[in-house]
């Protein structure tokens, strides 16, 4: 008789535990955080003040504002219709930079150097 009661109690416990496990909501799968919205592109124009080949960065100044930009392998650089290399950027060049902010860094997406203006013809 004791064995029968013990068997009924154990079966009842098993039924309740399995019912509780089946009723528990499934664990959410670990998902990667939702990707952040693409960074908004901004523009800045000015004169190149410094080119740092080691850090692959340039400093551009306009009036009293001065900004430092990181140049990556994805940065598209042009002068007129010609493609430029990072080594072609020199202090004193006028540039327009489209960039996006990544934390405290400004990553240059495009750098457009002003095409040299034709020198004025002198009258003789």
What are the pLDDT digits (tens) for 41-67? 899 999 999 999 899 999 999 988 999
- pTM of the entire predicted model: 0.62
Cα-based angle 66, 67, 72 (whole degrees, multiple of 5): 150
pLDDT in tens, 76-107: 999 988 999 999 999 999 999 999 998 899 99
Q: Which domains does the chain have, with CATH numbers?
A: 42-113 (2.40.50.320)
49 versus 121: the higher-pLDDT residue is 49
């Amino acid at each position: 008789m004791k064995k029968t009661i013990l068997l009924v109690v154990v079966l009842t416990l098993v039924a309740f535990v399995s019912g509780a496990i089946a009723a528990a909501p499934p664990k959410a799968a670990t998902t990667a955080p939702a990707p952040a919205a693409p960074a908004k592109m901004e523009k800045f124009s000015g004169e190149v003040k410094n080119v740092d080949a080691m850090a692959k960065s340039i400093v551009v100044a306009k009036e009293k504002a001065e900004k430092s930009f990181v140049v990556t392998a994805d940065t598209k650089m042009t002068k007129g219709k010609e493609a430029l290399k990072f080594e072609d950027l020199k202090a004193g060049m006028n540039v327009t930079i489209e960039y996006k902010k990544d934390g405290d860094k400004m990553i240059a997406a495009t750098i457009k150097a002003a095409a040299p203006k034709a020198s004025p013809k002198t009258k003789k």
